[in-house]
């Protein structure tokens, strides 16, 4: 479950935008034990795919510096596992990133739709990490 502010950060929009979407019925919310609005991870992942497919919202932040290794924080939207390998799809704002990794690694990381993950990209290799939240 993601609070409105967390969802907004992952989607690259303001808290108010997510609240308007929720109030308008565009994205489903529930309340947590403290009575705050939250969005289920799987629901948020699907919504991130929908707005990316629709061409927005684009990330309007200006890049002032970049490193050799680029990191994209987003939501896992799909995991396809076989006996040895796993294909993991991450929606990071308007970017869809696909990574192939061992099934064991995907299982150890607990990768499932709705999980927050970081795709670290260097040259042609993409590794998937789980960030510490809160």
From CA 38, how far away is CA 20, in angstroms rounded?
Answer: 14
pLDDT at 120: 83
Q: Angle at CA 96, nearest 5°, toward 95 and 102?
A: 135
In this prediction, residues 10-17 reach a mean pLDDT of: 88
Confidence of residue 130 (pLDDT cuts 50, 70, 90): confident
pLDDT in tens, 29-79: 999 999 999 999 999 988 988 888 776 554 444 545 555 467 888 999 999
SS3 59: coil
pLDDT at 68: 43
Delineate the domains of the chain, giving CATH numbers in brackets: 2-53 (1.10.1660.10), 70-129 (2.40.50.100)
The pTM (predicted TM-score) of the whole model is: 0.59
In this prediction, residues 119-132 reach a mean pLDDT of: 77
pLDDT at 87: 97
């Amino acid at each position: 479950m993601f609070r409105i502010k967390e969802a907004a950060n992952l989607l690259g929009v303001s808290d108010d935008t997510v609240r308007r979407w929720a109030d308008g019925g565009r994205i489903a919310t529930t309340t947590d034990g403290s009575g705050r609005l939250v969005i289920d991870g799987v629901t948020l992942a699907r919504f991130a795919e929908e707005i990316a497919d629709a061409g927005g919202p684009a990330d309007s932040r200006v890049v002032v510096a970049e490193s050799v290794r680029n990191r994209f924080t987003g939501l896992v939207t799909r995991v396809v596992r076989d006996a040895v390998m796993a294909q993991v799809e991450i929606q990071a704002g308007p970017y869809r990133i696909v990574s192939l990794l061992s099934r064991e690694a995907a299982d150890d990381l607990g990768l499932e739709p709705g999980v927050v993950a970081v795709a670290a990209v260097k040259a042609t290799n993409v590794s998937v990490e789980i960030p510490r939240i809160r």
